[in-house]
Every structure is written in C-alpha cells, then in structure tokens.
Structure 1
Amino acid sequence: MSNQLTGATDLRQRAHQILDEACSRVGLDPTGAELLRLRSNAVFKLRAPIIARIATAPTAAERLPAVLAVTRWLADRAFPTVRPADGITEQPMNVDGATVTFWHYIPTAPAPATTADLGRLLRALHTGPTPPFQLRTLIDPLASIRATVQHQPGVLDHDDQVWLSDRIAGLTGAWRTLPFREPPTLLHGDAWIDNLLRHQDGHVILGDWDSVALGPCEWDLIHSYHGERRFGLSPTDVDDFATTYGDDLREWDGYESLMQIRDVYAIGIHIRNAPGDPFSHQELTHRLNCLRSGDTRTRWHMKDA
C-alpha cells in the first residue's frame, strides 16, 4: 500500500466546519458540540440536545432519505430505534459534499448493551413486517468497496489494488451462490453491538441505520460472529447472541464464505479515510496484510472516537 498521504485533510476540522454550516441552516447552536465518534460518520452531540451525524460516503445522499423514513416508521411501530429530530424538515442536508442528519439524543446508562440484546432486537426486526414504501435491496454487499478500490488513486499501490479487485470479484461470485434460508427481510445492515445504546431507563435502542435495506437476514447476523474473529468479542458473547436470536449461523452451509465477504467489506472505510486519517492509514495496512496472508484470526482495531 502507498505510504503517501498527499492531499490529506484534517477530518476532525472539516467535520466541525460542516457542522457549523449545517447548524446555521436549521437554526441550531453548534457551540460546545461534543465529537462522540469519527469513523464512517462524524457524530456530534449538541447542547439542544440533538445528535448531528455527518456522512461522507459518496452514496450517503442517496441512501439517507430511506434511513429517515425507516426509522420514523419503526419508531411509530414502537420498535426501539433512534429517531430523527422533530421539526427539522431540511434533512438530509448536503454541506460541502457531506450529508448531514439530525437525531434525538439518547441519554445512556453506564451499563453497556450486550450481544444478547442485539440478538433479541434483530429477531424482532427480521420477523416483523417490511415498510410500506420502497427500499433498496442488498444485491451486492461488495459494491461500495469495489467502487472505492477503483476510485481511490494513491491510497492503494498497484499490487494491492489488483489483488483486492480480484478478491472482490471472486467473493462477489460466492455471494451469488450462497444458500440463503429465508426470503428477504428488513435489514439493519450494520448490526454490530457498538450500534446499540442502553437508555437511562434500561431499555436498549438500535441506532446507525445508514445501511438499511431489504435482504437476507444472514447479512445482519454475520457481524457478531465476525466480531469474535476480529474485534474482541468472546465465544460467550457469540453464543449469547445465537441463543437470543434463536439460530446459530455457524451451522449454516454458507457461513465461511459469508465471513470472508464480511472480512473484505470491513476494510472499505479505511480505504476511504486513509488520505486524511493516520489511524485509518495504519489500520488499512494491517488489515490488508492479514487478508493477503490468509490470516483470519488476528485482531483488528477500531478507533476510540
């Protein structure tokens, strides 16, 4: 992978600039905004209290109207989800190429949510109805990283770009032959324990619906099993998840192929962020080395913020 960071920008500074402009447009005060997360999205807590989320992915403007619609629909059905802030009609909002949305703030309890909580919520989501409006269908989960590899010159060196393109092509073929067991259902799309919030009153809420779609439930399930291999979840965490969901993906014939697809999918954000984020640049190198060597067990890392 290339070691050059030419044209790098300060992601944190740019996120604050976008936040200031977005708040100005809707009459919110960005003074003292707290940066909670800087990964695929920059997430700020305002004094209001409202959460502002800034997405920089090229497809965000196209996807986020559906995210707002689905979360409003789920909230109206009493599903425990984050919901868009009331009274802000100008969203999603384009600011300097980024897409901004505003959400109700969830006051959280110190006790973390668990994989059992996630399994319970996903079972309710997957066995419930689908929205009465059009949603995208998850046909090709590697489409975004395929486009990223092709359109990020200077981030990947030639050998890495060729290897990754070939790997994506092979796994795309594998996806098309996976023996999915159920009809398409409503997917969260990024069903990872970090996207759960435990409210101060004790109940657990599912957030970060940016990847919502219709598709095979296995795509939501694989995240927790992948978390054991790469992100420090324990075998007990995964067993608890499988028990509460009521199905163990490890018993499915397509398990290993889907795990490999998820492994490649999980480096896309770091290819996109590497030009302006030293952590992503370093983590991309680490993850690529694992993939190219066939190492399926070495721990990967997440940014704290």
Structure 2
Amino acid sequence: MNGKGSAAPFSSSSELLCVLSMTHSQPLGNGARERSATLHLCKPLCIRAARHQGLTAGTEPQLRCGLWIVSPAIGLADVIEMAGVPTSAWPVAASSACGERNEGKHLMGGRPRLFADIAVEAAREAARRAGVDDQDPEIVRIGDRAVLRLADGHIIARVARSLDRLDSSRREVEIARWLTTEGLTVTRPLEGEQPYLAAGTVVSLWHAVEGDWTVPADLAAVLRRLHALRPPPNLALPELEPLERLDERIESAPALTAADRLTLRTLTRTLREDLADAAYVLPRAVIHGDANIGNVLRTSSGEVVLFDLEGLCWGPPEWDLAITAVYRDLGWHTDAEYERFCEVYGFDVTRLPRYQVLRAVRELRMTCWLAQKAGDSEEIAAEVRRRIADLKEPDRPRHWHPY
C-alpha cells in the first residue's frame, strides 16, 4: 500500500481511496500533449473517470489501486469535467482509512499540508457555495474533525479529516433534521443539500448556538428523551462500535513510542474480549455515542441544545451514561452533580457488574483521542504519557486533566 510498485485489483465499493494513473497520448480537449498524471479520488469517481477515457484495469494506460502518497497533477480539469466529477472533490488527502499516518494531510508540491490549513480552505469553499460569508474563518478546535466559525460567528463549519467520513457526515445532517421534528433541541444544519465536498474532504455547515456550559442533570434530561425515540424507517442508524477507529488512532498518533503503541494495542484486544461478555440492564435504544457535558449548551432562553450528532447509533443506553460516571471518577464532576444526574435519568450505571469494563473502554478512547494532539505541545504529550501509564494500572488514582 505504500509503494509505487504495488498494484491491486479493485475490491468492494467500500474501499475509500484509490489512485488513477493515466498516461494519455491524445489531446484531453485542450490541445495538451502527452502527459502522465496521478489523481486521488474516491473509488467510484475513479471508475467513472477511467471508463470515460476507455481505461480498464490490466491494460495500458493502467488503472491502479492503492494508497500512494503523491501530489495531484496539474491539468486534469478536462478529464474530471468529462467524467462528471466536481472539482471540489479533488485533490483528496492521502487518507488514514487504512491506517496511514498522514491522516488529514494533503500533499502540495510533495510537502504535507497541515489539517488546519486544509480545514480553513474547505470551510471557505463550502461557505462560498452556500452563499455564506467566507472571510476570516476562525478555528474553534481540532480533533477528529475541525470546527470553525464563519460569518461573524453565525455559522459553524465541521470539516472531516478525509472523505471516508462522507456517509457519517450526511447521516449527521439527516439525524439533526429528524430530531428537530421530534421536538428535541439540537444543533441545526443550514438548509439545502449537505454535506459539501470541498478541498478534498467533507464539510457540513450549521447554525451557531450561543449558550453556556450546563450541568450533568441537563444532559441526563436530554438523554432520557433521546433514548425513548425511534428513528423513521428511512434513517438507518449503525450499531455501536465501542472500539471504533482505535487501531487507526493508535497507529497514526504522532508522538507515541513503540512501547506505547504496544500497550494500547494490547489493552484494545483485552477490552474487546471483555466487552463481548458485558451484560446490560436497560433496553437497546438510540444513543448519542459521545454524550459528555461538552456536547450540550444552555441558551439564554433556557433551552438545552445537543451537539455532535455524528455518532448517533443503536446501542445500550449505559454507554451514554458511563461518560458522566467516568468524569465523576476523574474528579471532573462532583459527587453531588453525579447523584443528581442519576436522579434525573433514573438509573446509576456504576451499579452494573461490568461498569469497570465500560470505564476502561472510555478511558482508552479518551487517551487515544488525545494522543492525536500530542504533537501540539509538550503539555499534551506529558498528559498522554501519564494516561498510558495509568491505563496499565486500573486501580491507580487518576490525575487527568480535561481537554
């Protein structure tokens, strides 16, 4: 997957990235002479472009599949237009969909670009297409995706790290619109078809919400309502995957040592086995997936707004409730706040016989998430090292800092 000599036949349509390598001796519609070009596109787009040019696998020019780290060639606009591919769909980042360590970086002139730069470009392009002021986008935070403010803070752009998040971003927009019809107050996407393909990645635009951080009891009330809902038949929600993308994050985190990676991989395998034996009390429901206090705000009118809907799925409600319990265990919520949270929801997840397994999974996920940012500062790198050391000893007191 990492060498130019590698070539593989196309597999399933779920394969996320491939490379279309063309050498064409005929004019491409603009009098161009023979050129050799390499273009990153999603697989379906590659196939369309290749078929239009009469290219097939195993012939010359060759259609090759892999994750080559290359810069997009200049002068392919005609090929892309003839294939019906919008220019916003390329160049695509060399993605981490298969564990590559350069997630969120495009190559420009052979040099990687920071994801922050890509996010700004993508947000501006999406804003222009939506008719929104694209001047001076402000980065709010960067994690699994980037969040930026646009239009003097009235619009929020959420920018994915790669095109593999297209389906989940589209589903997030559909989820938000469904929950609004159900009377649940959630963040609202801009009207019209979304998300956008921009600067080689996926962007969704949302109405900003002005509000303040609230208390765990407010989160409990929102979760109680959410867990009672049933989605319409045309909204297919995935099943919960508690360890989703952990292997990828472990491999791509910039500052982990080989020993750190081994520790996290081993713990992931152990917890996968432990989760298989976990028993739950509450009936299966629609759950948020990342129901922490940072994903709700209370507005000046008293409404509590739920955010970050990308992870909504089917699963045990205990998964949502465990985050607040873990935050209490870490000292980020008080005992009184947690007690009130349990009263409002009507259940205390820490009474589960296997609560410690849920806690361990949550701690592992929190650590792997932060490890993606370990290269940002020595402070974060030290926090990641502290967390990994603690994960080796489940009973050791935690002195973790929230991020």
Q: TM-score, normalised by structure 1?
A: 0.86
Q: Name 1:81's counterpart in structure 2.
A: 186
Tell me whether 1:246 sits opposite 2:346 in the alignment: yes
1:120 CA displacement: 0.7
Tell me whether 1:94 sits opposite 2:197 in the alignment: yes
Letter in 2 for 1:288: I
C-alpha distance after superposition, 1:59-94 (max 9, x if no partner): 52231221111111010111111121113x2x2233
Contact 1:229/1:299 (8 A) holds in 2: no
Q: Name 1:185's counterpart in structure 2.
A: 285
1:57 CA displacement: 6.6
C-alpha distance after superposition, 1:165-210 (max 9, x if no partner): 1110010011111111233211111101111011221111111112
Q: Name 2:236's counterpart in structure 1.
A: 134
Contact 1:70/1:131 (8 A) holds in 2: no
Structure 2 residues not aligned, in runs of 5+: 1-110
Q: Name 1:298's counterpart in structure 2.
A: 398
Q: Name 2:166's counterpart in structure 1.
A: 61
- The alignment partner of 1:181 has SS state of coil
Contact 2:121/2:199 (8 A) holds in 1: no
How does 1:196-235 map onto structure 2 within 5 Å? 196-230=296-330, 232-235=332-335
* Percent identity of paired positions between Structure 1 and Structure 2: 27
Segments of 4+ in structure 1 off by > 6 A? none
Contact 2:187/2:307 (8 A) holds in 1: yes
Equivalent-residue separation in structure 1 for 2:131 and 2:262 (angstroms): 47
Tell me whether 1:195 sits opposite 2:295 in the alignment: yes
Contact 2:216/2:337 (8 A) holds in 1: yes
Equivalent-residue separation in structure 2 for 1:234 and 1:208 (angstroms): 24
Seen in structure 2, the aligned counterparts of structure 1 residues 58 and 144 have a Cα distance that, compared at 3 Å, is farther
Contact 2:390/2:398 (8 A) holds in 1: yes
Equivalent-residue separation in structure 2 for 1:278 and 1:287 (angstroms): 14
Contact 2:140/2:148 (8 A) holds in 1: yes
Tell me whether 1:27 sits opposite 2:131 in the alignment: yes
Contact 2:115/2:161 (8 A) holds in 1: no
1:96 CA displacement: 4.1
- The alignment partner of 1:78 has SS state of coil
Which of 217, 233, 255 is equivalent to 1:116? 217
Structure showing greater radius of gyration is: 2
Equivalent-residue separation in structure 2 for 1:187 and 1:28 (angstroms): 32
Q: Name 2:88's counterpart in structure 1.
A: none
Equivalent-residue separation in structure 2 for 1:103 and 1:239 (angstroms): 34
Seen in structure 2, the aligned counterparts of structure 1 residues 58 and 258 have a Cα distance that, compared at 3 Å, is farther
Contact 2:125/2:134 (8 A) holds in 1: no
1:99 CA displacement: 2.4
- The alignment partner of 2:282 has SS state of coil
Tell me whether 1:15 sits opposite 2:119 in the alignment: yes
Q: Name 1:4's counterpart in structure 2.
A: none
Seen in structure 2, the aligned counterparts of structure 1 residues 97 and 299 have a Cα distance that, compared at 3 Å, is farther
1:297 CA displacement: 3.5
- The alignment partner of 1:178 has SS state of coil
Contact 1:8/1:275 (8 A) holds in 2: no
Q: Name 1:162's counterpart in structure 2.
A: 262
- The alignment partner of 1:283 has SS state of helix
Contact 2:124/2:137 (8 A) holds in 1: no
TM-align CA RMSD: 2.4
How does 1:136-151 map onto structure 2 within 5 Å? 136-138=238-240, 140-149=241-250, 151=251
Higher alpha-carbon deviation: 57-66 or 123-132: 57-66
Contact 2:125/2:199 (8 A) holds in 1: no
Equivalent-residue separation in structure 2 for 1:259 and 1:296 (angstroms): 13
Tell me whether 1:152 sits opposite 2:261 in the alignment: no
Q: TM-score, normalised by structure 2?
A: 0.66
Equivalent-residue separation in structure 1 for 2:397 and 2:113 (angstroms): 33
Q: Name 1:3's counterpart in structure 2.
A: none
Tell me whether 1:104 sits opposite 2:204 in the alignment: no
Structure 1 residues not aligned, in runs of 5+: 1-6
1:101 CA displacement: 0.8
1:32 CA displacement: 3.4
- The alignment partner of 2:222 has SS state of helix
1:144 CA displacement: 1.0
Equivalent-residue separation in structure 2 for 1:13 and 1:73 (angstroms): 33
1:33 CA displacement: 3.1
Q: Which one has more relative contact order, counting CA pairs under 8 Å at least 6 apart?
A: 1
Letter in 2 for 1:255: Y
- The alignment partner of 1:267 has SS state of helix
Seen in structure 2, the aligned counterparts of structure 1 residues 16 and 74 have a Cα distance that, compared at 3 Å, is same
